[in-house]
Amino acid sequence: MTRLIDIITQASRIMTGLSFLVLMGAVILQVLGRTVLNYSPVWTEELTRFALLYLAAFGLGLSFRSGDLVNVDIISEALPAPWPKRLRFLGAATTALLCAALIGPAWKYTSIGAMQTSPALLWRMDFIHASVLVMIVSLMVFSALRAVSILTGASEGLAQNRMEEFQS
């Protein structure tokens, strides 16, 4: 289980980082093209937008894991034990269920894109619309993993940042 979580986490981190690098590269090319190279490709703006969508898609599950996807825990964490842990489970399970319910609609939205192409890069838009699907799947995987780890007693269900706070 731990090995599986590590593989999913590392793969997501690599894809998030790659999306960011594509975004940075396209913008740098845009700036250099305009100022130094005297070459301004029309597709850079489109590529940066697509890279941002995939950055959000691959990074969302990780942000749930790290605690960057903030929640208001003033009530839930102030309750007597074992309620905070139960509510953390509820939060993770509800997130996973919402995402599961959204997979079908996200797939449908992705399919709609097959009929369109992007104006500059001429890419099929279903590949770009799929970023929302990836986003929902990413969030579902990490929230389901947290729910399962709470159920099996493998973790207390705290986000990574919160665990570091407790350890510091």
Partner 1 sequence: MSLLILMSVFIGGLALGIPVAVTLGLASAAYLLFSGIPLVVMPQKMYAGMDVYVLLCIPGFILAGNLMNSGGITERIIRFANALVGWARGGLGLTNVAASMLFGGISGTAVADAASIGGMMIPGMKKAGYPADFSAAVTAASSTVGPIIPPSVPMIIVGALSGISVGQMFLAGAIPGIMMGLAMMVTTYIIAVRKGFPRQPWQGFGELGRSFFGAFWAIAMTVLIVGGLMTGIATPTETAVVASVYALFVGIVIYRELPLKAVPRIVIDSAISSAAILALVGFANVFGWILVSERIPQTIAETVLSITDNKFLVILLINLLLLFVGMFMETIAALIILFVPLLALAQGVGIDPLHFATFAVLNLMIGLTTPPVGVCLFICANIARLPLWPVVKAIVPFLITNIIVLLLVSYVPAFSTWLPSVLLD
Site string for partner 1, 77-116 (x = CB under 8 A): x---------xx-xx--xx--x--xx-xxx-xxx------
- Give the other-Cβ count within 10 Å of 10's Cβ: 10
Residue 42 contacts partner 1 per CB under 8 A? no
Choose, by CB under 8 A, the member of 5, 8, 22, 30 that binds partner 1: 30
Choose, by CB under 8 A, the member of 8, 20, 22, 155 that binds partner 1: 20
Contact 132, 108 (CB under 8 A): no
Cα–Cα dist 121/97, whole Å? 35
Cα–Cα dist 21/134, whole Å? 18
Contact 53, 131 (CB under 8 A): yes
Choose, by CB under 8 A, the member of 17, 37, 114, 119 that binds partner 1: 17
Window 147 to 166, contacts with partner 1 (CB under 8 A): 165
Residue 126 contacts partner 1 per CB under 8 A? no
User: The tokens of 112 are what?
Assistant: 């709609």
